[in-house]
Amino acid sequence: KMWPSARASLEFAWSPKNPHRWDLDGDGVMDGIQHNTYDIEFAGPNTMTGTWYLAALKAGAEMAEALGEADRAAEYRARAERGAEGYARLFNGEYFTQDVRFDAATQKGMLTGRADVDDGVPRYQYGPGCLSDQLVGQWFAHCVGLGYVLPAAQVRSAMLAVYRHNFWGNLSAHESCQRTYALNEEAGLVLCTWPNGGRPNYPFPYADEVWTGIEYHVAAGLIFEGLLEQALTIVRAVRARHDGVRRNPWDEPECGHHYARAMSSWSLLTAWSGYTWDGRSGTIGFAPVVSGDFRCFFVTNTGWGIYTREEDSHTLKVLWGEVNLGKWKGVSGIASLNGRPVEAEGREDGLVFAPEIGVPAGSVLRVNIQ
């Protein structure tokens, strides 16, 4: 039911009816004017909007394939592959930059946020800067199991660069005339820096601010890259600022109180637990980034509960709804549901339940490791 609208939304990127002409040439790289969360438009290729686009193409391919549209899925994947090659050219050896492109004669009227143009170049770009949001679409792709949308080595390098250049352990010397969400001796991740120079006279608004919603997704991205200490350093800084004395621990404001972007903190759980869920096939999996006993919350489209890993077992305890399982990735052993044996076929990548089993609320599915 939703697929035709989702497909039309994605394909608007290269529709002749799109006045912004994002990807008319089919190279998988978004050109033109791209409105974004900073209340302005970026002009020209950049990996903030670009990784969203690549992730959308990969997600669209998965949906198309699931609905029997193999040719469309192949088209989306091919465009994403071309885009990855194009965006890789924005990599400066350390992180991804913006290629500012602007035609004042045809594009100035498309600047709906702040339309100032100086000497033919629009204000509020970041150019050679190190943007904390430069891999936001890559983060989301990892969260939903789509894998890398850009070369893995470049992604890891860029994540380290964001941490190295944009995280301040002490903000006392940080100059900002913008809104103050972190200050003085507090630590935080600023939205953008220019480690190699080239800061525009008018960078995008909020460039010098600290937003928890971005701090959390960057921390999750670091976890996906195995950079655990850097991730924890950022998260500890956020929570230290919201310790109940300095600030409300239940409210992390950005453009307003209880701002939704801070819910990116949930992705920390996904990244740390290595949790995956495919509702089409009923496939669940966990791959915690730490060894030893482990316990975490999980949620599917029909139920939620607690996953526990111990030395001799893996267990799923469903607390609400029902979880229908066709496969449990990454485990092997003898399965039981509420103490009764369950038929399961052991494969190289996990246990397959045939037929699919339902685990209702109050039930425990256990796999004893052999």
Secondary structure (DSSP) of 154-209: HHHHHHHHHHHHHEES-GGG----S--SS-TT--EEBSEE-TTS---SSPPTTTT-
| Among 242, 272, 302, residue at a domain's last position | 272
Task: Name the pLDDT band for 110 (thresholds 50, 70, 90).
Answer: low
Neighbours of 94 (CB within 10 A): 16
Rounded average pLDDT over 122-128? 94
| Among 249, 272, 295, residue at a domain's last position | 272
Cβ–Cβ under 8 Å, residues 181 and 251: no
| Among 224, 254, 272, residue at a domain's last position | 272
Cβ–Cβ under 8 Å, residues 148 and 225: no
Longest alpha-carbon distance in the chain: 75
The CATH number of whichever domain residue 297 belongs to comes to 2.60.420
Rounded average pLDDT over 259-272? 97
Distance CA 213, CA 119 (A): 34
With H, G, I as helix, E, B as strand and everything else as coil, classify residue 45.
Answer: coil
| pLDDT of 119 strictly over 80 | no
Q: What is the pLDDT of residues 83-102, one digit of tens each?
A: 999 999 999 999 999 999 98
| pLDDT of 120 strictly over 90 | no
Task: Name the pLDDT band for 105 (thresholds 50, 70, 90).
Answer: low
Rounded average pLDDT over 205-233? 98
Task: Estimate the crossing angle of helix 136-143 against helix 47-66, to 10 degrees.
Answer: 30
Residue with tokens 């991740």: 189
Beta bridge partners of 131: 192
pTM over 0.85: yes
**Structural domain for 188, as ranges:** 3-272
Task: Name the pLDDT band for 199 (thresholds 50, 70, 90).
Answer: very high
Q: What is the pLDDT of residue 106?
A: 64
**178: amino acid identity, one letter:** Q
Let me know whether 202 and 297 are in one domain.
Answer: no
Q: How many domains does the chain have?
A: 2
Let me know whether 22 and 152 are in one domain.
Answer: yes
Let me know whether 89 and 123 are in one domain.
Answer: yes
| pLDDT of 58 strictly over 90 | yes
Q: What is the pLDDT of residues 151-173, one digit of tens each?
A: 999 999 999 999 999 999 999 99
Let me know whether 213 and 322 are in one domain.
Answer: no
The CATH number of whichever domain residue 78 belongs to comes to 1.50.10.10
Distance CA 10, CA 72 (A): 12
Q: What is the mean pLDDT of the chain?
A: 95
How far is CA 281 from each of CA 66, 174, 330, 342, rounded to the nearest angstrom? 11, 50, 15, 18
